[in-house]
């Protein structure tokens, strides 16, 4: 007997049922340029350079390391003509960066170091006022059973007061509507692992956390740099802000050449709660994340929160 051909109606129903499976991961925003040039593309030109070299892109490398806390304000300590030299201060800054990111500590721009620096990341610095948060080590556990965690806190351990466990957040004008749900899921994930509750409140005077998409300089202490480089930044307690770089390509889920809103939001909410960066690559508080990558909270993240809030 010939098998029956499915009716058109049944075929359409099957397609509609399968549609969510194929549309779960999707692009939300596109960079203004169809082929955007990464602001850290210059790093490719520095591959192989080392102390003693003089290259046109070295000032950009110094600016990158200065932005994330590895190099003091070199513009006040050397003449413009010397900015192009790969000097001892730059070599030491690179060694610190390499140690933080578990790379071979060579002090030179080897392939692994260039690749690491070109991975987009959080805009919050790794070293602030001389404190290297990526090198924090804490032991937890009792007796002979203990583990070493790599989470860290902001200087002074700022946190929300014990009676302030219900935080409100405001979605600022201009944020893509499809980005709201991934951010809400990120808040829910933190709520499930902490004593905090989060609710949306779009009244600016009342919200504890303000969330939006911005480009370039937008009035706070940080400035976005376009495609590549810094993806987002946020503030520690008790000044809640969460800003995404609108010039990046954002997505829901794993999409190549795009960044998952929920993953980045999870990281930035960690800052808002008081966590600084972790040196554990699997932790949500690790500073860098590649395109197409999705992540969840790790044990290191949860241990860090519990240690900060003593719960």
- List pLDDT tens digits, range 30-49: 654 444 567 899 999 999 99
- Residue 277 marked in a binding site: yes
3-state secondary structure the chain: CCCCCCCHHHHHHHHHHHHHHHHCCEEEECCCCCCCCCCCHHHHHHCCCCCCCECCCHHHHHHHHHHCCCCCCHHHCCCHHHHHECCHHHHHHHHHHHHHCCCCCCCCCCHHHHHHHHCCEECCCCEECCEEHHHCCEEEEECCEEEEECCCECCCCCCCCCCCCEEEEEECCCCCHHHHHHHHHHHHHHHHHCCCEEEECCCCCCCCEEEEEECCECCCCCECCCCCCEEEEECCCCCEEEEEECCCCEEECCCCCCEEHHHHHHHHHHHHHCECCCCCCCCCCCCECCCCCCCCCCHHHHHHHHHHHCC
CB-facing half-sphere around the CA of 123: CA atoms within 13 A: 24
268 is catalytic: yes
* pLDDT confidence of residue 146: 41
Task: Using a pLDDT cut of 90, give the percent of the chain over it.
Answer: 68
- Residue 245 marked in a binding site: yes
Choice among 192, 262, 268, 296 that is catalytic: 268
Q: Do 61 and 87 touch, CB atoms closer than 8 A?
A: no
Residue 19 has pLDDT above 80, yes or no: no
- Per-residue pLDDT band for 228 (boundaries 50, 70, 90) equals confident
Task: Using a pLDDT cut of 70, give the percent of the chain over it.
Answer: 82
Q: Do 205 and 170 touch, CB atoms closer than 8 A?
A: no
Residue 16 has pLDDT above 50, yes or no: no
- Residue 24 marked in a binding site: no
* More confident: 135 or 295: 295
- List pLDDT tens digits, range 139-197: 544 444 444 568 999 999 999 999 999 999 999 999 999 999 999 999 999 999 999 99
Q: What is the CATH number of domain 41-118?
A: 1.10.101
Q: Is 76 exposed, middle or buried (0-12, 13-18, 19+ CB in 10 A)?
A: exposed
The CA distance from 53 to 45, in Å, is 13
- Residue 208 marked in a binding site: yes
- Region 76-85: mean pLDDT is 70
- Residue 220 marked in a binding site: yes
How far is the first Cα of the chain from the last one, in angstroms, to the nearest whole number? Answer: 68
- Residue 203 marked in a binding site: no
Superfamily for 166-309? Collagenase (Catalytic Domain) (3.40.390.10)
Domains in the chain: boundaries: 41-118, 166-309
């Amino acid at each position: 007997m010939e098998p029956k051909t499915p009716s058109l109606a049944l075929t359409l129903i099957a397609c509609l049922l399968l549609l969510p499976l194929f549309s779960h991961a999707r692009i939300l925003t596109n960079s203004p340029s169809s082929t955007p040039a990464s602001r850290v593309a210059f790093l490719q030109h520095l591959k192989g350079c080392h102390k003693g070299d003089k290259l046109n892109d070295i000032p950009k490398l110094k600016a990158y390391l200065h932005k994330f806390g590895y190099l003091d304000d070199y513009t006040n300590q050397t003449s413009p003509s010397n900015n192009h030299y790969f000097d001892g201060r730059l070599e030491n800054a690179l060694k610190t960066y390499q140690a933080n990111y578990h790379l071979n500590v060579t002090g030179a721009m080897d392939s692994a170091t260039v690749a690491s620096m070109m991975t987009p990341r959080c805009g919050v610095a790794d070293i602030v006022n001389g404190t290297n948060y990526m090198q924090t080590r804490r032991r937890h556990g009792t007796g002979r059973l203990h583990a070493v965690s790599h989470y860290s806190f902001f200087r002074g351990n700022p946190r929300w007061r014990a009676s302030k466990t219900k935080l409100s957040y405001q979605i600022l004008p201009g944020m893509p509507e499809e980005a709201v749900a991934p951010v809400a899921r990120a808040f829910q994930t933190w709520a499930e692992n902490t004593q905090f509750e989060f609710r949306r409140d779009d009244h600016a005077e009342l919200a504890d956390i303000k969330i939006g998409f911005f480009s370039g300089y937008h009035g706070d202490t940080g400035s976005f740099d376009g495609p590549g480089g810094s993806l987002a930044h946020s503030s520690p307690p008790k000044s809640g802000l969460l800003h995404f770089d609108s010039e990046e390509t954002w997505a829901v889920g794993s999409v190549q050449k795009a960044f998952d809103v929920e993953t980045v939001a999870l990281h930035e909410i960690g800052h808002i709660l008081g966590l600084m960066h972790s040196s554990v690559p699997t932790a949500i508080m690790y500073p860098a994340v590649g395109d197409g990558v999705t992540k969840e909270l790790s044990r290191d993240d949860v241990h860090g929160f519990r240690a900060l809030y003593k719960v």
